[in-house]
Amino acid sequence: MKAIGYKTAGPITADKALEDIDAPMPELRDHDLLVQVKGISINPVDSKIRTNVSPESGHKIIGYDACGTVTAVGSKVSHYSIGDDVFYSGDLTRPGTNSEFHAVDERIVGKKPASLDFEEASALPLTAITAWELLFDSLKVTERAGAGQCLLVLGGAGGVGSILIQLAKKLTKLTIIATASRDETRAWVTKMGADHVIDHAQPLAPQMEALGMVPHYVASLRGSDKNWPEIVQMAAPRAMVALIDDPQDLNINLGKQKALTIAWEFMFTRAMFAMDDMDEQGKLLNRVSQMIDDGHLQSTMTKRLGALNAASLKAAHEEQETGRVIGKNVMAGLGA
């Protein structure tokens, strides 16, 4: 089958940072679906893995969002059949979705929203899972709760922030404050449902004080190192703080007097450790799919980057690494 991979981790500027390759067809495990990949999206994790993780041998295939059609099923598959259209984000420990066909455990798969095409739908899985787990597992917000409390989303215009704002708006009573620093990103987070927008290029605490709000929940999606002292300063006593980025130096002792709860969100954890509840990801993706079709959520796709090949994917990685992508960039999959 057709695929895109690399042999040596490194910068996207390297000559063979990504290559068009021929790869063997995936071998199915008992709970696996074989999916013909028709749409993929680009995520920061794609660049992180490509930059830092070399394969033990051969080429490493990455890519962690996909939408496509089931073409074969494992012996213990019970929820999907050949011909079903599905979307999902895969497993960090297995080959990725930058391939013509892809094997994925059915328990972390959802039914594709009928109202979206394959590329539009591919924008959602990784960020929807991350946002859902961050909101309800890490921050422990309860649905239809939060009246009189607020959620601060640091980095609201990215892929995770875009769907997190929507979920919080539709499923809780929280007041949502998002950070954005450009006119286009401020407009975007407002479109997603943010009640207030503050500028993360400026000191945050005075802006929150001017709003007269104290965050009870903080989603730190970027810049946690830089923002941590202000997060502690702004947060309500016993506030909940969840992070998804990779801070190199985070002094959690600063949060002791306020008894802050600090939690990580990493959407690959359930699949990586074969957790007993890994099917929760399939369930939440099905719920997101229904919310899309009911008109309660919108796709966070903002740009179509054309057909997938090594050259176009390299350009997509370069754009992702600027840190200025709004929402999600998508491409037609190799199986389209």
Residues 206 and 300 both lie in one domain = no
Whether the Cβ atoms of residue 325 and residue 110 lie closer than 8 Å to each other: no
Residues 115 and 211 both lie in one domain = no
Picking from 276, 220, 228, 282, the residue whose alpha carbon sits closest to that of residue 251 is: 228
CB count, 10 Å around CB of 56?
5
Running DSSP on this structure, what letter comes out for residue 99? B
Tokens describing residue 77: 């598959």
Task: Output the pLDDT for position 147.
Answer: 77
Can you name the residues that pair with 69 across neighbouring β-strands?
Answer: 36, 85
The residue range of the domain holding 166 is 128-264
Task: Output the pLDDT for position 143.
Answer: 76
Total of domains in the chain: 2
Encode pLDDT of 239-278 as tens digits: 999 999 999 989 999 999 999 999 999 999 999 999 999 9
Name, in order, each residue with C-beta under 8 angstroms of 256's C-beta and a sequence gap of 6 or more.
none
Spacing of C-alpha 171 from chain mean position: 18
Residues 135 and 248 both lie in one domain = yes
Task: Output the pLDDT for position 178.
Answer: 98
Task: Output the pLDDT for position 148.
Answer: 86
Regions in the chain scoring below 50 on pLDDT: none
**Residue 256 CA: distances (Å) to CA of 227, 237, 250, 252, 262:** 17, 10, 13, 7, 10
CA dist 12 and 67 (Å) reads 25
The CATH number for 111's domain is 3.90.180.10
Running DSSP on this structure, what letter comes out for residue 97? S
Task: Output the pLDDT for position 142.
Answer: 86
Task: Output the pLDDT for position 119.
Answer: 98
Can you name the residues that pair with 52 across neighbouring β-strands?
Answer: none
Task: Output the pLDDT for position 146.
Answer: 76
